Structure formats: structure tokens, C-alpha cells
Chains A and B, each alone.
Chain A
Amino acid sequence: MRLIEDYNLIRGRIFDIQRYSIHDGPGIRTIVFLKGCVLRCRWCCNPESQEYDIQTVNANGKTRIYGEDVTVAQVMETVMRDADYYRRSGGGLTLSGGESLLQPEFAKGLLMAAKDYGIGTALESMACVDYEVIASVLPYLDTYLMDIKHMNPQKHKAFTGRTNELMLENARKVAQSGQTNLIIRTPVIPTFNDTVEEIRAIAEFADKLPNVTRLHLLPYHRLGQDKYQWLGRKYEMGEILPPDQEKMEMLKKTVESVSGLDCRIGG
């Protein structure tokens, strides 16, 4: 039998907790953002998530610290303040990042704790880790929101810093495991993957994955732009505008025309 104490004291590094999240998984949720990422996506709206190190920045004259080391118990204390909302809505805890699986023990501890408290669990992740790590959290995971950004390994590498083979392979394995509800998410980024051909390729791949029925198209937004400046980094997307509604609808139709997937714009 598992004792709650087993995971309560596991420590990990987070950079934010966001309550009343309604676009990332079922119901009303709390997202815990774990710090550190393997990718360096150019459009990333949370650039402070990428480095594992704790960062201190000057945000419009105010000092801001990105990163805090906390225990599973501390995180769950905040998460469970909205327990009533999860029960009403079928929501719960969502882990996001960065790539939360880079802190596998901590991530697993949080998911186990959530399960013990009886709330739902979800994970937003690129699956860019060894499959054993993923396999270790699957028993505690209700929903896996997995990013598939591009089918071409070279273009993937050019825009994110890594090729996509490992992620695609993991996507297949997670889907085959049947242990979690896998949802594929694709950020739609102008200049990167916003053509009919590119989205179609992703849809065709996702459609072949067993047990996968849903694909979310997430329109690019620039709301993280200021943080690049605070971090002393250049925002490489420059003045690229978000895709308009018409374009998103068109891409949604593309997905629907080549797959049986239930496609949604936004989470």
C-alpha cells in the first residue's frame, strides 16, 4: 500500500501555478508549471520556463524571480484549494512546463497525490524523454495533452532545437498503451507550420494513432513577448501576426477532411 508520506516531501522546481484554467483539459483546472525544457521553440510564450536555473529579472522596474523549489505537499495545498471546483466540473491538476517530465519523480509525485485526493490529472508535454519516464507516470494520468508541432524532422529542429523522431515514437507508444486519454495539440505558428500541407501531415499522423480521437489547433499568440525583454532575450518571432479566425477555420477543415478526428480551435 502507498503511503501519502512517500511523495509528500519530494521537491521540484516550478515557476507558476495558475488556477481556474479552463482551456487545458476537462473541467476547471489548476496548472502547475514545472521549470526547465528540452526544446527552445521560437514562439514559446513562457520563455522563463526553458532554463532550469532560477532566474531573477527586472520587469518594468520590479524585481521578479522565476523559479521556486517546493515540495509536492506545498503544491498540493494550493491545488486542493479549488477541490470543490474540480469535483463539480470534472477538472483537476494539469502539469505543464517547460517539460515537466524532466523532473520525473516530482511530476509523478504530484500526479500520485492528485489521484489520492481523488481529482483528475492531466499533463501537457512534448514527450521528449525516454519512454520509461513516460511509462512511470501513465498509471496516474487521466489525460495526456501531447504537442506535435511538425512532421518534418529538419524543420522541427530549425524552430525548436530538436528533431521530432523521439516524440513521434513516444506518441505511438503512449497511444498503444491505452492507459491514458491522449489528445494531440498543435500550436499553429505562422512561418512554421500554418500551411494546409503541414497541418494535414500532422492530422494524418494523429489519425493513425490508436485510441486518439481529438486534435486541438492552438493559434499562435504573442502574449509572452514582454518576458523576452525582461530576460534580456530577443523575440525572434518579431512582428509576425497571429493567424486570423478564417485561417484557423480553414485549417480545422483540413484536419477534418483527412481524418476522423474531432478537431477544435483552442484547448
Chain B
Amino acid sequence: MPEIESARAVLYTESFRQTENQPMVLRKAKAFAHVLDQIPIIIRPNELIVGSSTLAPRGCQTFPEFSFEWLEQEFDTVANREADPFFIAEETKKQLHEADKYWKGRTTSDLALSYMSPEAIRAQNHNIFTVGNYFYNGVGHFTVQYWKVLELGIEGIMREVKAELDTVKPSDADYGTKSRMLESCLIACAGIIRYANRYAALAKELAAKETNKTRKEELLRIAENCTQVPEKPARNFYEACQSFWFVQQLIQMESSGHSISPGRFDQYMYPYYRADLEAGVINHDDAQELLDCIWVKLNDLNKCRDAESAKGFAGYSLFQNLIVGGQDEQGRDATNDLSFMCIDASMHVFLPMPSLSIRVWNQSPQELLLRAAELTRTGIGLPAYYNDEVIIPSLMSRGIPLEEARNYSIIGCVEPQVMGKTLGWHDAAFFNMVRPMELVFTGGVDMGEQIGPKTKPVEEMQSFEEFFDAYQEQMNYFIGLLVNADNAVDLAHRERAPLAFISTLMDDCIKRGKTPEQGGAIYNFTGPQGFGVANIADSLYTVKKLVFEDHRCTLAELKQALRYNFGKEINPFIVAQIAGDVTNSFLAQHVTPEPELVAKTTQQVIASVSEQDRKRMEEIYEMILDLPKFGNDIPEVDEIGREAAYCYTRPLLQYRNPRGGIFQAGLYPVSANVPLGFTSGASPDGRLARQPVADGVSPSQGRDVNGPTAAANSVAMLDHGIASNGTLYNQKFHPTALAGQEGLIKFIDLIRTFFDRKGMHMQFNVVSRETLLDAQQHPENYKGLIVRVAGYSALFTGLSKSLQDDIISRTEQGL
């Protein structure tokens, strides 16, 4: 189990205690440099690329300047929690607790809360959306100009900063902010040089003690590397790798923001590789080994999130997205040897980091896609495939020039942006599109509280259009509150978390004298993501078809069916909703809603549902399940899916953030569709209360029954271009679908065709033997698992044990 360490928090706090009343940007740079000077360093056995943020492998530091209370509350449970547990020693707890004392009332999350409107806070308490990611942590989610450090070295960057500082006149209006900000950059840069020199010294020291001759030479080479880079320009591929790594690691020491994405690594590293090859100082295998080492290092970093967020980002993932292939600024295919070697590195190391991505367009070499498909076939869930032909125009529609749009990279999960110029605030929130649907049925009341607009009672609605209008009204209201919450967090980071180091690697921070949080980046966005498109599509279709076209049930009946979870399990969520209604009816009658009375009456209400009513609810449930669903290539349903997605993507575009940028929607859930589904009631698509919401733009689980092409066609019916913060489409495959060279080719044809149809992103889970064995043991968790064997598809859990065994044995043969 990974371990939490305290050194960074202790040192960072130590510095802060000594810099009261100085500008925040300066204080943070000094604290960062203090950490770099004092934090224990380590070179792990046989490492060729060095730089570790913790003594324990895969350990994590903490960042109390953003938030700390959650961790203190979880001190005794964090090691036992289900999602991403961490070990924490008693001594560490004591040290952290001591440091945390300083931060009470001083964190970004404290300040963010004070900027939020009460309605926005209430909406979050009711789980309509969450901005927890940046509320509790640093922002991250960018690609810096790694190439600048490789080319100029930190010393070159310091020259640039000093030159800018020379232009600042004492009489300038922004003298105070700009000069201090630039000074902070110098402090941070100098700290990084000293940090690398500490590694050089450590390597020398270890070399002196080393008895193995090969390792001794390696350590001496490491010492030489760390003396040269990142301070000075990289002279060869090895130094470039080491220099890259220090940048990658230390960005994640400066702040706890994740999705620090290396971006187009195959492009900016290639000149060093080619030069070394031509000069004969490196061969392919040695270069591959260095890449493999970087891949391991990317997995050495870790992050502890609060329990709720950990569920949403499950898998210890840091989302360091590294992308290969695609076109260059001039529109030529940019694939090179390193593009292939990056795929090979993922194959060799076989760990989740980096989040490997492939850019695809009609000039992508088939060889590259074949290599990528081979990686997919292993079942590791990598790489993700991205469509240049949708993403480039999508970025251009946000004001980015053609050349820069062609040079895009992906941040975190699926978010496109221009490298080294963008603070995209991707991942700014999770917005659960299902909850506003529930509120249409209650006129904006949730748990007895009026939290949304009082839309027309559903009993009085005369048409589908009226219903749809009410949904949009609920959506628009909560999207407005989402914007409020995001902007509050944005302000808090501007004030309390200006970061000097990343400012030196992002245009135009130095010239503007502003950190990215203060609006220093050229492109600024806020990208909150919505999910549940498929649930809303299917819900709207239910109302349209069942209620208003076929008159098979009324909205009043549907309302009751939803309230009572279609007559199925009365779980605590359902009870709480009914208790809310009971409380309100007491208040209306001027009776004090004593808790005991409410509880008793609630039970009576639940018990009073007649057998006939319950039957009718189940009947409605069955009728809903029999309706066509999104994900089956049925135009009339998919058209509604398109409109459903617009309910989220369109309204967001009108809003602005404090950095001068606009909001842009993403349609992807990471893994929040499970925990946020758990805090949602039943929905008219036949989703029961507390069940997961559909992930990304994918059809609801198990509802797509016409195979991958039909599902992909439905998904391609959505307008992906407007969701310029990214969309996520997951497909599951049985390995036999990818068997042999021919299987790979057909698989690539599937991706290319989905992209011809203007899909944006695709990733694949290839069902493993372990998954199938687990499904055999726990069929309840795998209701929708369809396996296709030799053109024969079947619901796995519906098969007898011996047939399941046949399929499991074929799974092995497929590989």
C-alpha cells in the first residue's frame, strides 16, 4: 500500500511561518524552494532517471495549503478505505497535525467557500454537482513548455525572467505585482537547480561506495546529468530525459494539481533522439530503456485525495497524459520512431501511467495504429484514441488559430488544449445531469427543500415540449450555480495559490507578470464535465413515447413510480425523500415536524402504498425497459440524445471565468458516475435509485444490444465538437474480437469509421479472464456484460456455468 509522508508539508509550513505579510506569490516560491533544499532525497536501486518526491516508492506528500481537514478526519480510516487506500504512520500523523494547525482558515478551500453563493453551496450539498477537485487540491491540468527547459535550461529561463524584470519601472502601475511575481520565478528556478545539484552530489556519494562496476559508472553518469540539467541545455537524449523528468516531478511538488500532462512527448523529444542516433552515441535499445525508466518514474508519483474524490478518480491515477502521433502545425503527419517507442514503453512497463493517447487522422500510418491496437488487446485499457478531425475545428471554434489547434495535446482524461499556453481548468466539476431530471418531477424540491426552480407540476403538463422545457429550466438554473461555484474556487486559487515555477513555462505569464492562476496564460477556459447523457436521452424518450405519444401511462403515475423506486427496494435515499415530503406537509399544516413524528409518518406513508399501486409501478418499469434505448442506432432516440447533450453543452458557453476565459463543456465522468449515481433517485429511463449513471457519452450499461457499430453510430450522433473540453466513449470487447492481425485491422477500421462519423474519442476495455471469472462469482455486478465469441453474442451472466467456462477458455486463446 502506498504511504503518506510529511516532509513537504512540514517544510512548506516552516517557510510560511517565516514569511507573514509578504506577497503570496513570493511566499509560495520561497516555501517551494525551501522544500527543494531540505526534503530528503533518494536514488532508488538501479534507477537511471532520478528524482523522487517521497522516500517510499509510490508514496505521496501532502499539500495542506489547499486543504487538510479531510485528511485529519481520515487519519484513522485512510488505510482501510475501499478506493485508493494509503498507509500513514503515527509519527507522520503527529507531524502533519502540527503543520496543519498553521493552515486553519488559510487554505484555498476556506477562501473558495467564502466566495460561493448560498444557492451554489446548497446545490452541492444536494449532490447536483461537485467542484471538489480544485476545491480541495491544486488545479494542474496543463502541459508546460518542457522543450523550453531542454533547449535553454533553467538558466536560460532565468535570463528571460531577468530581462523582463529589467523592463519593469518603479513607476509602472503593476510594478508591485509584476516585479514580485518575476522575483518569485527566479527563486523557484534557483531552487530547482539546487535540487538537481543535491541529486548530483548524492549520486557521486553513492558511486564512491558502489562496488559493482556497471552501477558505479551509471551513478557517475547520473551525477554528470544532474549537474548539467535542468540548469543548462540538454546535450543529448539521456540528459533530455533527465531534464524532462525533473520538470515533470517538480511541477507535482509545487502543487497538488493532477493531470500534469507531458503532451506531445514524441515531438519535443525527437530531435535529441535523432541527433544521438546520427552521431552514433545511442542506439534504439538504450533509448527505449530510458523511455521505460521514465514510464516507471511516472508511476512513482502519487496523490492522496479525500475519500469521496478518491471514488471519483479511483485507481491512484495522476492522469499524466502523454500523446503520440497526429499532425504537425503545418498539417503533415508527425508520427516518428519515438511515437512507436512510447507505445512499446507502455507495453514493457505495463503500468497505468502515463495515460497514453494516440492522435488519429486520415494520414495516420496504419503501422502506428496496429502497434496501438496491440497494446489495447492486452486489456490494460490503453491507449485512448483521439480524432484530429473533430478536435482541431472544435478548438478553432474557441478562438485558437489553425496552426496551434493542429498542435493540440490532451490533458488528463480527454481534454484537448494548446500546450504551454493554456490554463484550461479542465475537470472543473462533475455535473450529474440526472438530478435536474428528478427535480422536474418535484418542481425543484429535493429532500423536502426547494433547491431548484418551481417548474410547472408534471400533472399539469400537456405536451412533451412542456416537459422538456422544464428540464432545461432546471438545468439552466443549476449550470448557473455550477459557474458560481467554479468561479469562487478560481478566485481562491488566484489569491492563495499563484504558482511561480509553472509561470516560467507557460506563455505569456512572464511578459504579463502574472501566474496562470492570475490570468497569465494566453488561453483560459473552465471545463466542467457533465455526465448521464444516455440516461437523459432515454428518460426524455420515455416521457415522449410512453406518456405523450402512446398514452400508456401518465406523468403523475411516472412521478409516483420514481418516488417509490418503481416499487422495488425502498432504500435510505427513497426514505429520506419521502420524509422530506412529510416534513413539508406538516409545515403546511402548521405542525412542528418533530423528527420522531416525521419518521413514524414516513413509515406509514410507505406502508400505505397499495399492492395495486405497486403492481402498476412495476408495470411501468417493464414498459420502460422494453422501449428502444440510446446506443442502438435508432434515429428517433439518438436525436433526443443529441438534444439531451445540448442541455448541458450549450448553456455553459455564455459564461465567463475570472481569468477572462469562457466555460466549455466536457462530457465525461472519470469514475464519478458511480458515487454520484449513488446519491441520485430513480430516473424515467428505468435506472433505479442509487444505481450508477451512464459513463461519458456511452450508452447506459447493458442497454446497447446491437453491437459496437450500432452503439458507436448512436454516440457519433451527439455533437462532439461543441463539447470542446472533451468527450469520453468507452467500449468493451472480448479479446477474440482483436485476435490475429486481421482482428487488429478490423478493430482499427472500427475506430477510423467512428472517427469518419465525427466521434471525438474512443477507449477500450478488453474483457480479461479475471473479469469473466469475477462475473461468474458475482453475476449481480455484471448484468450488462455481453461477450461475443465467433460472431455469437450472449449475455455472459445468462449462460450456464459450463458455457461460461467455454468462453473463459476462449478468452485465453484470443490472446
Contact = CB atoms under 8 A, between A and B. Distances in A.
Interface of A: 18-24, 27-28, 31, 45, 60, 81-82, 84-85, 88-89, 91, 218, 221-226, 239, 242, 244-245, 266-267
B789 interface: yes
B-side interface mostly: helix
A188 B404 CA distance: 57
A225 B800 contact: yes
B622 to A, nearest CB: 10
B226 to A, nearest CB: 49
B753 A85 contact: yes
Given A88-B749, A266-B739, A23 B790 contact: yes
Nearest to B635: A81
Nearest to A239: B802
Contact of B749 (A89, A223, A267): A89
B752 A223 contact: no
Contacts of A82: 709-710, 713
B347 to A, nearest CB: 24
Interface string B782-810: 00000001111110001110110010010
Contacts of B757: 84
Contacts of A21: 791
A18 B709 contact: no
Contact of B752 (A88, A239, A244): A88
B749 A27 contact: yes
Contacts of A31: 791
Contact of A225 (B736, B743, B746, B803): B803
B792 A223 contact: yes
A165 B709 CA distance: 40
Contacts of B633: 81
24 contacts: A19-B710, A20-B708, A20-B710, A27-B749, A28-B750, A28-B753, A60-B798, A81-B633, A81-B710, A85-B750, A88-B752, A88-B756, A89-B746, A89-B749, A218-B790, A221-B790, A222-B803, A222-B806, A223-B789, A223-B792, A226-B799, A226-B800, A266-B790, A267-B791
B258 to A, nearest CB: 36
Nearest to B756: A84
A84 B753 contact: yes
B736 to A, nearest CB: 8
Contacts of A266: 736, 739, 790
B792 A45 contact: yes
Nearest to A30: B709
Given A22-B743, A28-B709, A221-B806, A245 B789 contact: no
The 4 nearest A-B residue pairs measured at CB: A89-B749, A20-B707, A88-B749, A23-B791
B813 interface: yes
Contacts of A221: 789-790, 792, 806
A152 to B, nearest CB: 26
Given A81-B633, A88-B752, A89-B749, A223 B713 contact: no
In this complex, the interface size class of chain B, counting residues with CB under 8 Å from chain A, is: 20 to 34
A24 B750 CA distance: 16
**Residue of A84, A218, A221, A239 most packed against chain B (CB within 10 A):** A84
A91 B737 CA distance: 15
Contacts of A244: 809
A99 B45 CA distance: 66
Nearest to B713: A81
A38 to B, nearest CB: 22
Contacts of A18: 707, 791, 793
A22 B789 contact: no
A177 to B, nearest CB: 27
Contacts of A60: 798
Given A225-B800, A267-B790, A27 B813 contact: no
A19 B709 contact: yes
Contacts of A19: 706-707, 709-710
Interface string B729-741: 0000000110100
B791 A22 contact: yes
Contacts of B791: 18, 21-24, 31, 267
Contacts of A245: 813
Nearest to B812: A245
Contacts of A223: 789, 792, 794, 799, 803, 806
A224 B792 CA distance: 9
A245 B752 CA distance: 32
B756 A222 contact: no
Interface in B709-768: 709-710, 713, 736-737, 739, 743, 745-746, 749-750, 752-753, 756-757
Contacts of A242: 806
A32 to B, nearest CB: 13
Given A20-B709, A89-B745, 20 more contacts: A18-B707, A20-B710, A22-B737, A22-B791, A23-B790, A24-B791, A28-B709, A45-B792, A81-B710, A81-B713, A85-B749, A85-B750, A88-B756, A89-B753, A221-B806, A226-B799, A226-B800, A239-B802, A244-B809, A266-B790
Given A22-B737, A267-B791, A28 B806 contact: no
A88 B800 CA distance: 37
A221 B787 CA distance: 14
Contacts of B800: 225-226
A43 to B, nearest CB: 13
B746 A22 contact: yes
Nearest to A22: B746
B348 to A, nearest CB: 27
A218 B798 CA distance: 24
Contacts of B803: 222-223, 225
Contacts of B739: 266
A31 B792 CA distance: 11
A190 to B, nearest CB: 13
A89 B798 CA distance: 32
B767 to A, nearest CB: 16
Contacts of B806: 221-223, 242
B769 to A, nearest CB: 14
Contacts of B813: 245
Contacts of B737: 22
A221 B757 CA distance: 36
A204 B737 CA distance: 30
A84 B736 CA distance: 23
A84 to B, nearest CB: 5
Nearest to B739: A266
A225 B708 CA distance: 25
Nearest to B742: A22
Contacts of A88: 749, 752-753, 756
Contacts of A22: 737, 743, 746, 791
Contacts of A84: 753, 756-757
A22 B806 CA distance: 20
Contacts of B749: 27-28, 85, 88-89, 91
Contacts of B736: 266
A239 to B, nearest CB: 8
Interface in B256-290: none
A85 B709 contact: yes
B758 to A, nearest CB: 11
A204 to B, nearest CB: 26
Contacts of A81: 633, 709-710, 713
B343 to A, nearest CB: 22
A82 B809 CA distance: 31
Contacts of B707: 18-20
Contacts of B752: 88
B710 A28 contact: no
A183 to B, nearest CB: 14
A222 B789 CA distance: 11
Contacts of A218: 790
Contacts of B743: 22
Contacts of B789: 221, 223
Contacts of A28: 709, 746, 749-750, 753
Contacts of A85: 709, 749-750, 753
Nearest to A46: B792
